[in-house]
Amino acid sequence: MSGLVLPGRYRIAKTFRFEAAHFLSSLPVGHQCARMHGHSYEAVFVLAADRLVGPGFVTDFGDLGPVKKMIDGTLDHRVLNDVLPVAPTSENLAAWLASWFVEQLEPGLPGRLVSVRVSETASSWAEFVLEER
């Protein structure tokens, strides 16, 4: 192998898990999601970079610790309706998490956030993809 690097971008992802409840009051009476219910959420943060920083990282996974701290302190074992400024759908939660990350954490990191994917169940997810910056 020549050590030649092909053109492209590097990407990493880190998954965070939490438990929370929500309800969607704008849905019709009788809709299962109009009632209070809970989920075991997964939020996957994807970061990218055109080149690596020492010793060969997009971003050190350890530098993503503040995400876990924020999730544990703000979202875990909470009613999302009480803590989010938007309706607590997976789509809105993904966008809210992305906004928090870009404002609070990204300025000090070498990698850039590409997307946040939120899963409420093992078979469904919503994703917020940031425009290329």
Residue 114 in domain = yes
- Strands of the chain (E only): list them: 10-22, 37-49, 78-79, 112-121, 124-129
Q: What is the pLDDT of residues 45-96, one digit of tens each?
A: 999 999 999 999 999 999 999 999 999 999 999 999 999 999 999 999 999 9
Statement: residue 1 has pLDDT above 60: no
Q: What are phi and psi of 48, to 5 degrees?
A: -140, 160
Residue 115 in domain = yes
Q: What are phi and psi of 66, to 5 degrees?
A: -60, -25
Q: What is the CATH number of the domain that holds 78?
A: 3.30.479.10
Peptide bond into 107 cis (omega under 30): no
- Determine the Cα–Cα distance for residues 116 and 43; give it in Å rounded to an integer: 7
Residue 65 in domain = yes
49-55-59 Cα angle (round to 5): 35
Residue 3 in domain = no
Residue 79 in domain = yes
Residue 5 in domain = no
Find tokens 């850039």 and name the residue. 112
Residue 121 in domain = yes
Q: How many domains does the chain have?
A: 1
Residue 68, domain extent: 10-129
Residue 80's alpha-carbon distances to 37, 72, 75, 89, 105, in angstroms, are 11, 13, 7, 9, 22
Residue 1 in domain = no
Q: What is the pLDDT of residues 12-57, one digit of tens each?
A: 999 999 999 999 888 778 778 778 899 999 999 999 999 999 999 9
